[in-house]
Chain A
């Protein structure tokens, strides 16, 4: 092999290596505004960790979560919720990448002052974060993870909780997928459905749960296709499903793909609605190509319609955050408050140390509080006991709630 070709080969290898590590930069933002409160903070500062995508395609959701967590921490500081301590939010960007999320978790776990972690957004990142935090007995509460295996293990028939420190306030896809099928097949009357997913933990799991229930309710799944989460041109998939003349598309994944996918469906002459899960519910969905009439489900009831969330929304707007609180804002606010209440109860008037972690865990597990999204408590797996979901539809360029309810098995 001559020299020229060696260089080309080396270049190709480096390109591959770059593809794997190109986005491994970590950005840390020291969160938590200095509140002018008069609480006793003589014992020092405790850190509330936070992991979510703060840059990249899903940052609209992640930044809304970060601001909401920040709001909860600031309020706790003003109301002296943890006696003797000041709380600080430390937000880490996971860029929706499991490997980077793992690095962020390791960083947080090595800090003895981290009392717990709020996050992540993606189920795939939670899979790498939860075990790392569990080793140090650090409580993690996710406002947004919906993949069932995170709390129930990989075997749905005999559920076993993988990480005792992992909790979530979001309803799982085991309920969300079937809830979507109940609406799309039952209420909207679609019978020939093409299912597409992005192959990630969340998208593939949600699409499978949807497809199983849709078939049970008499619909035909005419195609099951996969797209890449970074793909932008879906003409191949669309040409493939077009001759099968589906009357709806169900997409398991997130809005950066779902928006353009919806537009390209219409461009190819397939004027059929696209439906997705909570991952596509974002205000940028329509501007990225999502069409009027597209459907989605999301966990919980819409914050705007809940009387209990009014205080949260007012406080959020008053705080003047740059980004809207988005889909998971209210849930993140609640998750952060659950953690802070758990810390307050677990530490009491004592000092926080590694010995307090069991007490904090117990306090979170036995949570029973009224949050912005409703009543919050956890079952033995760490899942929220609330099974409320909402159907959304794009109207006037935004997802508007259609109906809220619980899934009923047929």
Chain B
């Protein structure tokens, strides 16, 4: 029984850290321009397809057969493809609407989301159905010898470690660097930041690029962990990531990570121990969301709203 409990914790941590990586992009973009970028899930999806394309069409087998060469390259390619799409999306879909009413960019985001899905479906060979994705890390499963054994894929361990390292690095970047300070300033008051010599457009592009890079890395890791990808993957995981960002307090980096882990653990443990079993595991995620928002509408780490002048 203990081993089952620990297995579910491991499952929850893997899913949770994946969602956390995507949620970081949601929360950062919201923090800077108060836009809920619903197309962010598609950035995640595009990264997975980009990484797969490099594996299938670009890299020689000498590299693809050795994970220590292939993994970093595919991660970088996935991140680059996602950055490219995210930056283009900001430039052509959101920047023209920067001063429009807030619902206009939101609806645009939904449109971009559908457009990206359809674009991949039409232009990526075989994307009308799920496509196999190679395992990019040490193959196989580590069985931790507790009770009946707690199985966890090596790729799963990689996913957890890499997510936490990236989230920690991002927080450091935002807190400690000059560019990070510019981001915080822009998020607090774009006009005053401009008066202080910050170029808000550059900061916003950087925010989309960082969010895109994290989503692209998440996409490649997702493919490598589950070994197949499809064009719907961004939508479903994007909704979870959005929920994680809201749960943790949208606009807050630490909150996005905690929110993601909570969702992963609630799904895994809820499916195991709560009535209804795995058929209802998604329900518990949103039950938790509702309970948290009733008592703490700003989420775990969200700041209470300030009235803007």
Contacts and interface: CB of A to CB of B under 8 A. Distances in A.
A189 B24 CA distance: 50
A239 B103 contact: no
B239 interface: yes
A228 B282 contact: yes
B11 to A, nearest CB: 4
Nearest to A57: B129
Contact of B239 (A19, A243, A268): A19
A240 B246 contact: no
B128 to A, nearest CB: 5
B54 interface: no
Interface string B1-30: 101100110110011000000000000000
Given A243-B3, A259-B130, 10 more contacts: A7-B106, A11-B38, A60-B129, A227-B279, A232-B230, A236-B281, A237-B271, A240-B278, A242-B148, A260-B130
A4 B228 contact: no
Interface string A289-302: 10000000000000
A55 B228 contact: no
Contacts of A235: 7, 10-11, 14-15, 268
B278 A237 contact: yes
A225 interface: yes
Given A22-B114, A226-B277, A226-B279, A287 B38 contact: no
A408 interface: no
A29 interface: no
Interface of A: 2, 4-5, 7-8, 10-12, 14-15, 18-19, 22, 55-60, 199, 225-228, 230, 232-233, 235-237, 239-240, 242-243, 256, 259-260, 263-264, 267-269, 284, 287-289
Interface string B49-77: 00000000000000000000000000000
Contact of B141 (A14, A18, A19, A269): A269
Given A57-B129, A267-B141, A287-B132, A240 B14 contact: no
A228 B278 CA distance: 9
Given A10-B103, A225-B279, A268-B151, A56 B129 contact: yes
Interface residues of B, number: 55
> Most B CB atoms within 10 A — which of A240, A263, A269?
A240
Contacts of A57: 129-130, 230
Residue of B4, B130, B151, B271 most packed against chain A (CB within 10 A): B130
Contacts of B132: 287-289
Nearest to A10: B103
Contacts of A240: 4, 8, 271-272, 277-278
A31 to B, nearest CB: 18
Most A C-beta atoms less than 10 A away, residue of B14, B233, B235 = B235
A239 B129 contact: no
Interface of B: 1, 3-4, 7-8, 10-11, 14-15, 34, 36, 38, 102-103, 106-107, 110, 113-114, 121, 128-130, 132, 140-141, 143, 148-149, 151, 153, 225-228, 230, 232-233, 235-236, 239, 242, 246, 250, 267-268, 271-272, 277-279, 281-282, 297, 305
B228 A239 contact: no
Contact of A8 (B10, B36, B268, B278): B36
Contacts of A11: 36, 38, 106
Determine the main DSSP class of A at the interface with B.
Answer: helix
Contact of A15 (B14, B114, B242, B297): B242
Q: Is the interface of B mostly helix, strand, loop or mixed?
A: helix
A42 B114 CA distance: 44
A281 B191 CA distance: 61
B11 A236 contact: yes
B7 A232 contact: no
Given A256-B130, A267-B153, A22 B235 contact: yes
Contacts of B233: 232
Nearest to B12: A236
B265 to A, nearest CB: 11
A226 B281 CA distance: 10
B151 A269 contact: yes
A242 B15 contact: no
B240 to A, nearest CB: 11
A146 to B, nearest CB: 21
A240 B225 CA distance: 19
Closest 4 CB pairs of A and B: A226-B279, A239-B7, A235-B11, A236-B271
A259 B4 contact: no
A19 B60 CA distance: 40
A183 B277 CA distance: 29
Given A56-B128, A240-B271, A259 B228 contact: yes
A236 B232 contact: no
B305 A4 contact: yes
A288 B250 contact: no
26 contacts: A4-B305, A5-B305, A7-B34, A11-B36, A14-B106, A18-B38, A19-B235, A57-B130, A199-B279, A225-B277, A230-B236, A233-B15, A233-B225, A235-B268, A236-B11, A236-B267, A236-B268, A236-B272, A240-B272, A243-B148, A259-B130, A259-B228, A267-B140, A268-B141, A269-B151, A288-B130
B4 A242 contact: yes
A225 B106 contact: no
A401 to B, nearest CB: 24
A289 B232 contact: no
B196 to A, nearest CB: 24
